[in-house]
Amino acid sequence: MTQTPATRPHWTSRLAFVLAASGAAVGLGNIWKFPYMAGEHGGSAFVLIYLICVLFIGMPVMIAEMIIGRRGQRNAVSAMDSLSLEAGQSQKWRYVGWLGAMTSLMMLSFYSVVAGWSLAYLYRTWSGVFSHVNAEQVQTVWRDFIASPLEMTLWHTLFMLLTLWVVARGVQSGLEKATKIMMPLLFVILLILVGYATSTDGFAEAVEFLFKPDFSKITPTVIIAAMGHAFFTLAVGVGAMLIYGSYLDENVKLGSAVFTIASLDVLVALLAGLAIFPLIFSNQLSPEAGPGLMFVTLPIAFSQMGGGLFFGGLFFLLLFFAAWTSSISLAEPVVALLHENFKLTRKKASIVVGFVAWFLGLGSLLSFNVWQNAKLFGRFTIFDIAADFSINILLPIGGFCFVFFAAWAMKTSSTKQELNVSKPYYYIWLLLARIVAPISILMILFNAIIQ
Ligand code: TRP
């Protein structure tokens, strides 16, 4: 152990913490995944369930992680270790920290590949590739890109280096500084894009698509998809919020901070929907295009609209910023673990984590081209395994363990002191964290496994 908790770095203010945690939450999940999931799962029905899941499952889990982190003042492994000791529980709980670290690494590996796409498309859009092209040509651009392992590796490598650079600089001059610059920029870009979208013909249709409740579209599949997405988008389940909480001062109130973070996360997802769907509807494109929505459908819209290159470029810049502030939160839990428990300097720890995640990412990357026929059970490519297995299985397992630990294993006197809210709010959290969240998570898991 190289640092005593007292000398650990801390956020310089509540705002810095809220921005960093919101940066972790707001990511590809909000801008890339949310719109296509909503598109595939009936629009407003999905949005409604997702909001409910954020409120009743995601937020209690996020609070649990932050309680553990702040009270433990260490990385997930050591925090679980010392808190289980404090509560008179088995120290085996520390393995949950390890599980989180493994999940983080796996997620970072594929996350960087997709984030690399945003850089590649930023470059393509601003260099004019999408001016005056038709739908077929846009699709060819995508197919050619995906078929080129070399180019994908280039962007994946660049993105990983950017991530490491921030993480290696540490909590205050790395994570805090990066998110303080990027989050406000992200909001400005998003508002410009929504402003533009309001002037298109498809805006009214988009609002209706996202917000007009249509309960007939709520099916078990929609519920499962929305629950899984709530986890992913709130960045809970691997100990990222735990480590962010561990850099937090005692006097900051967790409840209201979590509420702000989750609200910002939802707001960005909804605004992203309001920026994207109007373009899709006014160009008579389909909202159900799946993961390619961003890279195949949107450039068609950009090629046809006035100022499309400018707005298109802004869009991919937005995607890149969002991904960057999230990827640092995936690297940080593992870097902190290596740094604090294995005496590696932060720089060395960052290099190790970056290299391993980069290397694993090559597997995902190659599964789009060279290894596209290598499939587990004839169905899942390496990318599918890295992405779906970690999001749908490992995240809920991690989230379950954290919330279960905070709600059942820790003493209520400890959690009450950490959460520091009035009694009714505390008991609402306790009810959600003890019963509602764990049971719902087991349901998601069960369904994900039998599918
Ligand atoms: N929340 C991010 C997104 O929406 C992804 C992410 C970042 C994440 N850190 C995480 C997901 C930690 C789970 C756990 O894109």
Q: For tokens 């003493």, what's the residue?
A: 411
Q: In this predicted structure, what is the pLDDT of residue 3?
A: 47
Q: Ligand 1 centroid to 266 CA: how many Å?
A: 13
SS (H, E, C) 34-61: HHHHHHHCCCHHHHHHHHHHHHHHHHHH
Nearest CA to ligand 1 atom 9: 235
What residue owns the CA closest to ligand 1's atom 11?
235
pLDDT at 145: 95
Please give the distance, rounded to the nearest whole angstrom, from the Cα atom of residue 149 to the centre of ligand 1.
25
The response to whether residue 237 sits with its C-beta less than 6 Å from ligand 1 reads yes
In a mutational test of the pocket of ligand 1, which residue from 36, 112, 232 has the highest number of ligand atoms less than 8 Å from its CB? 232
- pLDDT tens string 404-433: 999 999 999 999 999 989 999 999 999 999
Angle, nearest 10°, between helix axes 44-53 and 254-282? 170
* Cα–chain center distance at 176: 17
Whether pTM exceeds 0.85: yes
Instruction: Write the residue with the smallest CA distance to atom 6 of ligand 1.
Output: 235
- Count Cβ atoms below 10 Å from residue 139 Cβ, excluding itself: 17
Strand-pairing partners, residue 380, are 376
- The pLDDT assigned to 5 comes to 54
The span from the CA of 87 to the CA of 64, in Å, is 15
- With a 6 Å cutoff on the Cβ, whether 30 touches ligand 1 is yes
d(CA 285, CA 275): 15
Instruction: Determine whether the shortest distance from the Cβ of 390 to ligand 1 is under 6 A.
Output: no
Query: Is 141:299 a contact under the CB 8 Å cutoff?
Result: yes
d(Cα 447, Cα 437) in Å, to the nearest integer? Answer: 15
Q: Whose CA is nearest to atom 14 of ligand 1?
A: 235
Ligand 1 contact, 329 CB (< 6 A) = yes
Positions of the chain with pLDDT under 70: 1-6, 451
Query: Is 433 touching ligand 1 by the criterion CB < 6 Å?
Result: no
